[in-house]
Amino acid sequence: MSVFSNKIILASASPRRKELLARHGFNFEAMPSAAAELTQDECPNPVELARQNAVLKAAQIAAQNPTSAVLGADTIVVLGGTVFGKPSDKADALRMLRALRGKTHSVFTAVAVVCESLGVKISDVEESRVSFKNLADSEIESYIEKVNVLDKAGAYAAQEFGGLIIEKIDGDFENVMGLPCSLVKKLLKLAFKKDPDFFCEK
């Protein structure tokens, strides 16, 4: 089994996901998905919500590019069963970070690989545990001023001034950034029976 091209399509505009794929040497192009994502009201289980949204993103781009391997991903922050998505504004970001301070939450990134022409649709989810410092409001406000939090699940980025707010991370750091490439490689190998290097720059 093979795909017609060794170039992956990343169904995302995320600069962090592009950075991670490039860091691992993948041959890819980014094509942001316009898929309508499910909400927690529609899918109460956070892990399943992330998985289904990753599949929806990949499937939407795969329908337009049927001979390509399309990679979709969805990252969510979860505390006590509640999903923290991207904040709507700085006040919402402040609310989220106040809720997360002094506690340990989960970061789930779902990864989906879809190739229409080969009938491939495979997905899995990675979890990391992130413990926040017990931050004062002034520390949270300072962090929000330093980082563009509005495009980040949970209103923070571990790779941007993460030491100001994060006590420790248990699990894959790339997962917290938004794309665990170890899981990407595992899924590509399962889906196409090829070494992931097949999809890397030669």
- Residues assigned a catalytic role: 74
Within 10 Å of residue 64's Cβ, how many Cβ atoms? 12
- Cα gap 16→6, rounded to integer Å: 22
Q: Going by C-beta distance under 8 Å and a sequence separation of 6 or more, which residues neighbour residue 187?
A: 111, 112, 113, 122, 123, 124
Distances (CA, A) of 27 to 9, 101, 112, 166, 190: 9, 38, 17, 33, 18
Distances (CA, A) of 18 to 21, 24, 172: 5, 10, 17
Q: Which amino acid is at 1?
A: M
